[in-house]
Amino acid sequence: MRVVLLGPPGSGKGTQGELLARQYQVPHVSSGDLMRDHVGQRTELGQQVARYLDNGDLVPDDLVLAVMGRAVREAIDEGGYVLDGFPRTLAQAEQAYALAEPAGATADAVVYLSVPDDVARERLAGRASAGRSDDGDADVIERRLRVFHQQTEPLLEFYRERGILVTADATEPPDVVADDIRRALEDRNLLPRPR
């Protein structure tokens, strides 16, 4: 099972990624977690990444691919993946597809976690107060939302054209969202039944 989760910041990608990965027994690969690990360990890559995260900017494609490449390959070797936060740009999606297609490892499904900006703002403000360094003040939150709409939203059409896009209302409680995702994917025969 290979699933990509897309959604604005604060849409619940991490929560749903963990739930799906546990249910289908595949690795949950979070670009945000991997980048924060690099930042926390003060690696050379992490220091480069930190400059973008602190400003609410998207990390450039080459750095994202450097962070994600090995983790995705390892997940494929373990039987699949739930990708959370990758790809985030059309260029990343096209590169990932070009690399995965010859190996038969392209995504089976892409789930778009839809939330209005006001809900995302409220969630991000709550996470910032809980210590997430990449969620910050109102200006950073606004910038992150603007970047999502400009650079990540175009991916929806890319995946819709491939026939693998499913949309879920992510304003509901996490367990309800998880059930909706599972039913939608299974109804469209995009996923196997859970083990």
Residues with catalytic annotation? 13, 88, 127, 132, 143
Q: In Å, what is the CA distance from 147 to each residue of 9, 58, 80?
A: 10, 7, 29
Backbone angles phi, psi at 84, to 5 degrees: -125, 110
Check the CA dihedral 95-100-103-104 and report its sign.
negative
The token pair that represents 128 in the structure block: 């910032």
* Of 159, 31, 163, residue with least CA distance to 97: 159
Displacement of CA 189 from its chain's centroid (Å): 22
How far separated are the first and last CA of the chain, in Å rounded? 11
The token pair that represents 81 in the structure block: 């993946």
The token pair that represents 174 in the structure block: 């996490």
Q: Is 99 exposed, middle or buried (CB count within 10 Å of its CB: 0-12, 13-18, 19+)?
A: middle
SS3 122: helix
